[in-house]
Amino acid sequence: MDFSIAGILLLDGVTNGAVYALLGLATVLVFTVTRVIFIPQGEFVTYGALTLAMMQTGKTPGTVWLLLILAGVASLMEMTERWRHHGNTGRAVMAGLKTLAFPLAIALLSIWAASQQFPLWVQAALSAAIVAAFGPLVYRVAYQSLEAATPLVLLIVSVGVHFAMTGLGLLFFGAEGFRNPAFWDERFALGPVALGGQAVIIFGVSLALIVLLWLYFEKTLRGKALRATAVNRTGARLMGISTHASGQLTFLMAALIGGLSGLLIGPTTTVFYDSGFLIGLKGFVAAVIAGLSSYPGALVGALFVGIVEAFGAFWASAFKEVIVFTLVLPILLVRSLRSGHSDEDH
């Protein structure tokens, strides 16, 4: 291996690492606020990439229909729950419509836009919006009534959601893989290494998102409310912060981050209906490195995972997944030795 190969691998690793970082951040975000270990994070990546791919072909993406179905279910659940609670039909219907409104608007817009052959970036923005709309609905349908359950139960629910979302991905996108066109074809020479425009976009978007997240949590009241929910749910509720709303907001952000990651990664690799799982899990490894609690830790961890993967692929390409996922064990060992006893009561 000479210097230029190392440079290429490093760049490759950092590029992928930037995407894993986003997914790792989303994982940490969801876990700290809701205690949900969100395995299906990767499915949002797939949905994002494939929704755009469908739009490119001028068809209405299957995710739109799925979104409508899910929104219908969520709004029915919201309606019955409100009705049982208050017995007021008018308010129940209003609550149901409120749940339905945003997804319905996005779905209708997408159906209209799908046949219009809009420029790439418009389609990308729509795809991100569609995927983002899934977040609160998934939370509403699968998790909301289990908010008080143990992390273990929530984890098993996550696995169920992952199964369902993968299967639905197959149903709505088919088994065929897609590779999206690059957002920016420019190439820059950095010595022996060529930096692609897509990589620049990946860095830029990742960095921007990380800064936005930081600003959100540090500077806005809503962000502080989410952090409060993360620290103490009961306390947050007593302060008038709704855990339902916090959960849905968190999932909205996670889904948006997932969808954007899918858009970013779409032009660099062929995405199949089940590709998201592995991509998401690598973000996961990054989050585990950070102990599921530290945002900067997840960022560093993600870059590390990306680089290990790139070099692993070069030296032993068949075993690159083995290397990346076995990495978790020594990392956990170090964490376990460092943390000592952390016996906690549930």
Partner 1 sequence: MKRGLPIVLLALAVPVIALLPLPDFWIAQLNYIGLYALVSLGLVLLTGVGGLTSFGQAAFVGIGAYTTAWLTLNTGMSPWLTLFVGLALTAISALIVGVITLRMSGHYLPLATIAWGLSLYYLMGNLDALGKYDGLLGLKSLSIGGINLGQGRLFFVLCWAIVIASAVALLNLLDSRPGRAIRSLKGGTQMAEAMGINTFRYKVTIFFIAALFAAVAGWLLAHFQRTVNPSAFGLKMGIEYLFMTVVGGVGYVWGAIVGAGLVKLLDDWLQVALPALIGTSGSYEVIVFGVVLVLVLKYLPEGLWSVVARRFPKPDRVVDWADADDLPVRAKPQNGERVLVIDSIRKQFGGLVAVNDISFDIAAGQIVGLIGPNGAGKSTTFNLITGVLSKTSGRVTFRGEDVSALPSREISRKGMARTFQHVKLIADMTMLENVAMGAYTRGRSGVLSSMLRTNRAEERRLMKEAQRQLERIGMGNYLHEQVGNLAMGQQRLMEIARALCCDPALLLLDEPAAGLRHLEKQALAAVLRQLQGEGMSILLVEHDMDLVMDVCDQLVVMEFGTLLTRGTPAEVQANPAVRAAYLGTEH
Count each helix (H run) and each strand (E run) in the chain, helices first: 14, 2
Question: What binding mask, one character per residue, do residues 34-73 give for partner 1 by CB under 8 A, x or -?
Answer: ---x-x----------------------------------
Are 326 and 56 contacting, i.e. CB atoms less than 8 angstroms apart?
no
Query: Residues 246 to 285: which contact partner 1 by CB under 8 A?
Result: 278, 281, 284-285
Among 159, 207, 208, 212, binds partner 1 (CB under 8 A): 159
Nearest residue (CB) to partner 1, 205 versus 285: 285
Q: 21, 264 in Cβ contact below 8 A?
A: no
Candidates 10, 109, 156, 200; binder of partner 1 (CB under 8 A) is 156
The rounded distance, in Å, linking the Cα atoms of 38 and 226 is 17
**DSSP state at residue 195:** E
Alpha carbons within 13 A on the beta-carbon side of 215 = 6
SS3 content of the chain, % helix, strand, coil (to 5): 80, 5, 20
Q: Is 119 in the site for partner 1 (CB under 8 A)?
A: no
- Of the candidate residues 89, 115, 145, 242, the single one contacting partner 1 (CB under 8 A): 145
**CA-to-CA dists, residue 308 to 2, 203, 269, 277, 320, angstroms:** 17, 18, 18, 19, 8
Q: Which stretch binds partner 1 (CB under 8 A): 3-11, 167-175, 198-206, 260-268?
A: 167-175
Here the tokens at position 194 are 């060529």
Residue type, 45: V
241 near partner 1 (CB under 8 A): no
By C-beta, is 190 or 316 nearer to partner 1? 316
Q: Is 177 a residue that touches partner 1 (CB under 8 A)? A: no
Which one of residues 3, 121, 163, 315 is an interface residue with partner 1 (CB under 8 A)? 163
Chain residues binding partner 1 by CB under 8 A are 37, 39, 142, 145-146, 149-153, 155-157, 159-168, 170-171, 174-175, 278, 281, 284-285, 288, 292, 318-319, 321-329, 332-333, 335-336, 339-346
